[in-house]
Structure 1
Amino acid sequence: MNRAIAATTSLLLVAALAACAPPAKDNSGADTSSGVKAGQATSAADFGGMDGLVAAAKKEGQLNVIALPPDWANYGAVIKAFGDKYGIKVTSAQPEASSQDEINAATQQKGKSTAPDVFDLGQSVALANAAKFAPYKVATFDDVPAKMKDATGAWVNDYGGYMSIGFDSAKVPPVTDVDDLLKPEYRGKVALNGDPTQAGAAFSGVVMMALTQGGSADNIAPGVDFFAKLKQAGNFVPVDPTPATIESGQTPVVIDWNYLNAGATKKVPTWQVLVPENAAVAGYYSQAINSDAPHPAAARLWQEFLFSDEGQNLYAAGGVRPVRADAMIQSGSIDAAAARELPAIDGPTTILTQAQSDTAAKYLADNWAKAIG
């Protein structure tokens, strides 16, 4: 569930991987049918179409992914389906890593065969690192709303959801309002999914709290202040929540994406999920290709798969909203049963712009550690 681990630990892991990795290699890939290196291909057309791309990816035979827990957005099933369909071995590194850890790994392992081929990033981290991505437009690129993608295809949002509060009603009083979390009954019980300076879920959790405390997408200071109050009350627990911590009762209240909180009900029937009224914060994760991907054709085929009807329906089966949902509903290609389980939100929804995200990220970098340290 949790894609954020301590920065010092992640850096040690990255360093260890880099130390034992094979020597640097040319990661530009083989020539495509159009004469363009696979690492510079901007669409399947450069490979002569999808058949050419599939053939090139199969020849590489491997794909390196990172920070994809199997219980996050149905990635266990997504990875298996891709590997089974194309006969490509998928190596999944650091499944519990944060978005920033992904970028750190690519930097540390640049030129190595173990470097990440693709990224799955929180919006703020994606926007801050767009220069590190290879522009690529999948076949369904036009189905993705303009505000959900870079015009060149350097990054494209692929799935999303709403920030929420999950709680075990058998262990804590029902949460009906955010301010309930400040009460003594929640002492040592409230967890946030990660560090908001590194992890997209935690970042959006602070934004949600800001909206409930009189803040806005332009001013997240009240959200940071709220977590400071939680810490002062002894209610904030500095534990990154996982399915295991929820099941054991170590984290009976979790601030996280609705689809991850909803997933907890499979093992904890008394788990409930609340999206605070008038504080619906929608967040999408972005797909991107490492510009130095060691398997550039497989990286591009992975993108095609994720944005295909098959890939998008696998996301929906995991409780997340596929970015192509509207187009798929219109065409009738969406999994109707999965679509019915997606949350319906009444009222306004907040999605940060790039400028708002940059401002919020800077504020968190300057103030988060001081607030909860």
Structure 2
Amino acid sequence: MRNWLYAALFAMPLALTASAQAFEGPELYDGERALYKAAQNEGIVVSFDTGPTWANWAAQFKAFQQRYPGIELVYNDLGSATTVVALDKSRNRPQADTAYYFAASGLDAAEKGLVADFKPVNFDKLPPQFRHPDGQWFTIHTLNVAFLVNKKLVKNVPESWADLLQREYKNSIVYLDPRSTGQGQVIVFAAALAHGGNEDNVAPGIDYLGQLAKSGNVLRNVGSTPYAQFIKGEIPIWIGYENDGLRAKYVDGLGDDIAVVIPKEASAAAPYAISLVKDGPNPNAGKLWLNFITTDLGQGIFAEGFVRPAVPGVKLPESVADKLPEAPQLHPLDIAKATAKKAEIDAGWAKAVLGQ
């Protein structure tokens, strides 16, 4: 396990920049310069599960190292659940300084005693359901359920959950199976919120998805993200995450052929969180990294990757402000309550949708 972990960690180091005594310009927050000085004595931060192609981490890496010369950044891309397993296996000799995951895995890491108390910049601005009370995990961005619509295949773009039940969308809709995917679970909550339910009452969401199945409008349910099929024009409507639709539209060349719609009744904002690892080898560098990504600057960098910042009120960069419009119908998902409903969703969805 130790050899595997070492290989995973150091297969993808970022180049060490030239050392410097201090960054230029004013502090982003009180104490930033002193923390940077302490981090220089460590010289490195080890960041678990921050793959560069996901959530704009590559841009975060670049901005961090430009601001803090002399701090090397090493990362891997393990996946949320595997990250918790890796932290647990190395708890007697931690390799990581920080760990990023779907917030449900943050709860798991906290319950296992793998992460430390730390409240970064802007911590108190986060909605309560987006943070551990002592900072053992905290949300840094959300992924939001939306309708991703290929307008070449769909004449009228649906704007609401109610619209999806119309006959014109027969055999048009794809979404992930909630029994095997986190995104599928979040979709159930989004549908529940749109029909009078909440994290404590998922029945309206299950009932709605049962109606959608009976309408004949669902083309298929899938067990993994069908992004490639969507890009190829094989899926008319994908109930998925907003950022995938925006990536297809603005990065992968589909342009005006793609509509990205937050359903007007309600939708769910799924939290993605990060933690300071307990007894990590470079605690000051870890704190410097976590503070950076929760500043207004760091939050704006996430927005440039089409994921919505977790900190309310952050001014979005001009390049994405019109691409991520205000969406008051987005509901911050209480992941602790949501996780407790998994078994109920699995059984209820299978019965309502598959008749099992």
The normalised TM-score by structure 2 is 0.73
Aligned counterpart for 1:138 among listed residues 115, 120, 143: 120
The amino acid that maps onto 2:134 is: T
The amino acid that maps onto 1:204 is: V
Paired with 1:363 and 1:297, the residues of 2 have a C-alpha distance of 42
Shift of 1:362: 4.2
1:175 aligns with 2:158: yes
1:103 aligned residue? 84
Note the 1:200-239 alignment, pairs <5 A.
Answer: 201-227=183-209, 233=216, 235-239=219-223
2:104 aligned residue? 124
Aligned counterpart for 1:274 among listed residues 224, 246, 261: 261
2:25 aligned residue? none
| Unmatched 5+ stretches in structure 2 | 8-29
Contact 2:178-2:188 within 8 A present in 1 as well: no
The normalised TM-score by structure 1 is 0.71
Shift of 1:83: 4.0
1:259 aligned residue? 243
1:314 aligns with 2:313: no
1:5 aligned residue? none
Partner secondary structure for residue 288 of structure 1: strand
2:317 aligned residue? 335
1:65 aligned residue? 48
Contact 1:319-1:338 within 8 A present in 2 as well: yes
The amino acid that maps onto 1:101 is: T
Give 4+ residue runs of structure 1 displaced > 6 Å after superposition: none
Aligned counterpart for 1:285 among listed residues 272, 279, 288: 272
Shift of 1:312: 1.5
Shift of 1:128: 4.1
Paired with 2:197 and 2:74, the residues of 1 have a C-alpha distance of 43
Paired with 1:292 and 1:198, the residues of 2 have a C-alpha distance of 31
1:93 aligned residue? 77
Shift of 1:196: 6.1
Paired with 2:320 and 2:169, the residues of 1 have a C-alpha distance of 36
CA deviations 1:163-213 (Å, max 9, x no partner) are 211111112343344355565855375133x756653x4332111122345
2:174 aligned residue? 190
1:343–1:361 Cα change, 3 Å: farther
1:4 aligned residue? none
Paired with 1:362 and 1:57, the residues of 2 have a C-alpha distance of 44
1:366–1:299 Cα change, 3 Å: farther
Contact 1:140-1:307 within 8 A present in 2 as well: yes
Paired with 2:58 and 2:104, the residues of 1 have a C-alpha distance of 25
Paired with 2:312 and 2:197, the residues of 1 have a C-alpha distance of 30
Paired with 1:112 and 1:175, the residues of 2 have a C-alpha distance of 52
1:135–1:251 Cα change, 3 Å: farther
Aligned counterpart for 1:323 among listed residues 310, 324, 328: 310
CA deviations 1:314-355 (Å, max 9, x no partner) are 1122233323342x55xxxx6355445422225x54334466
Paired with 1:196 and 1:107, the residues of 2 have a C-alpha distance of 25
Contact 1:171-1:252 within 8 A present in 2 as well: yes
Paired with 1:186 and 1:69, the residues of 2 have a C-alpha distance of 38
Query: What is the identity percentage for the equivalent residue pairs of Structure 1 and Structure 2?
Result: 23
The amino acid that maps onto 2:337 is: Q
Shift of 1:228: 5.3
1:80 aligns with 2:67: no
Partner secondary structure for residue 219 of structure 2: coil
Paired with 2:115 and 2:184, the residues of 1 have a C-alpha distance of 24
Paired with 2:33 and 2:67, the residues of 1 have a C-alpha distance of 20
Query: Comparing 224-233 with 249-258, which one deviates more in the overlay?
Result: 224-233
The amino acid that maps onto 1:121 is: Y
Aligned residues: 322
